Amino acid sequence: MKHKEEIESEVRTLIASTLSLNDAEITGESIIADLSADSIQLFELLIAFEKFYGIETAYEDIVALRTVNDIIDYIQSTPAGTHK
Amino acid sequence: MLLIFKIIISLMNYKVPSELIERMKPLPFTSVLVLRGNAVSDATLYSLLTQNEKIRYREIPESKKSNWLLGRGVGKSVIHAHLRSFRAVAIQPHEIEIVGMSGGRPTFNVCHTELGMCSMHLLYCFSLSHSEGVAVAQISNRHVTRGVGIDIEAIRTFPDETSKNFLTSAEYHHCMGHDEVKTKFMITLHWCLKEAYLKALGTGLRIHPRRISVMNIDEEGEAVLKLSGHRAQKAYWTMTHDLYIIASICL
């Protein structure tokens, strides 16, 4: 099981690189839809999470999450062994 | 006193700073407007926000603020114009508050000084979209539709992995069977149509775009989409400013 700090770092890096944002623009309370420039970027972010963490149901689950903290909590609570 | 008088005059003379899309097929009791970011300043758009929207604006990342304001501006403009046309009432943009509902589908409240706050989601269906400095919004009377969805996209190159993720296998091969310019156009159009449908359904990306098949696209601005388990759905599309595709659906 990864530590929360490690997951938080990975999530922020994925968001920053996929959405072309500065790390400073991303907080735990940031709303994912607000960070995305448009729906295509949001879709690409969802695919990036699915690919990085290799969780089969990630698309449907992650799309329902609202904030950066929600994503971090979701990934941390996903059973060990489903992460890459 | 003079300041208040000036504000009242300016609001009475409020003009919708948008261009009506002439080529979009006319839909009954429906209004569509498109607005370019360089047509109106951020300060003007900010002045149209309600107090709640100004609080919300502060939470938006700096690099996204202009597009967010543009979306609010065109949304309020289309609501203002629609209510004036179909209800003969002059609700001013600063009295309209655009809010998100569960699932991300937007709706709006009218904040009237005498009537108080009235939610409009039972009377109207509403959708908005923005892309690279251009925004578009659509409103329709609830009695003619179960939902509306609109999407605008700048014609762009998609990473191949992204295309393969949202297109069905047949769509992917169909889009790739053209020269580079037409391929970009076709892939963008497919995304635009699917996104408009997902907005009309009120699910957004909770339904994977690949579950929607684009059955037919004609040059006259019509298309047919099919979500697995649902009947075929007609959609409309057009181009604006030669750079953007707009797709619209009324369920």
Instruction: Give yes or no for B103 touching A (CB within 8 A).
Output: no
Q: Which pair of tokens denotes residue B90?
A: 């002059």
Q: By CB neighbour count within 10 A (0-12 exposed, 13-18 middle, 19+ buried), where does B62 fall?
A: exposed
A33, A38, A63: residue with CB nearest B206: A63
Residues of chain B with Cβ-Cβ distance to A49 below 8 Å are none
Closest residue in B to A23 (Cα) is: B61
Question: Could you tell me which chain B residue has the CA closest to the CA of A41?
Answer: B162
Q: What is the pLDDT of residue B114?
A: 67
pLDDT, tens only, B188-198: 999 999 999 99
Task: List phi, psi (to 5°) of B101.
Answer: -105, 175
User: Looking at residue B2, what is its pLDDT?
Assistant: 41
Q: How far apart are the first and last CA of chain A?
A: 11
- Can you give the pLDDT at residue B104? 63
Residues of chain B scoring pLDDT < 50: 1-18, 20-23
More confident residue, B90 or A10: A10
What local confidence, expressed as pLDDT, does residue B9 receive?
37
Mutate to test the interface with B, among A17, A20, A38, A52 (most CBs of B within 10 A): A38
Task: Choose the mutation target among B56, B58, B64, B207 for the interface with A, i.e. most A CBs under 10 Å.
Answer: B64
Inter-chain contact A21–B61, Cβ cutoff 8 Å?
A: yes
Q: What is the pLDDT of residue A84?
A: 46
Q: Cα torsion at A41, A42, A47, A53 (round to 10°)?
A: 120
Q: What share of chain B is helix, strand, coil (3-state, %, to 5)?
A: 40, 30, 30
Q: Is B187 helix (H, G, I), strand (E, B) or coil?
A: helix
CB atoms A40 and B162 under 8 Å: yes
Asked if A23 is an interface residue toward chain B (Cβ–Cβ < 8 A), one would say no
* H-only helix segments in chain B: 2-12, 42-47, 51-59, 65-86, 160-166, 169-176, 180-201
Q: Which residues from chain A sit within 8 angstroms of residue B129, using beta carbons? A: 38-39
Tokens 């990306």 belong to B205
Cα–Cα–Cα angle for B128, B131, B134, rounded to 5 degrees: 80
Q: Is the CB of B208 inside 8 Å of chain A's CB atoms?
A: yes
Instruction: DSSP for B157-184, please give it.
Output: PPPHHHHHHHS-HHHHHHHHSS-HHHHH
Kindly report the nearest CA distance between residue B204 and chain A, in angstroms: 9
Question: pLDDT value at position B13?
Answer: 42
At residue A79, the pLDDT reads: 60
* Residue-level pLDDT at B239: 83
Residue B168 is predicted with a pLDDT of 95
Closest-CA distance of chain A to residue B232, Å: 23
A25 near B CB under 8 A: yes
Give the minimum alpha-carbon distance from A2 to chain B in angstroms, rounded to a whole number: 27
For residues A84 and B11, give the distance between their C-alpha atoms in angstroms, rounded to a whole number: 57
Contact in structure between A24 and A12 (CB atoms under 8 Å): no
Place of tokens 């762009």: B156
**pLDDT tens track for A13-60:** 999 988 888 888 888 888 888 888 778 888 898 888 888 887 666 677
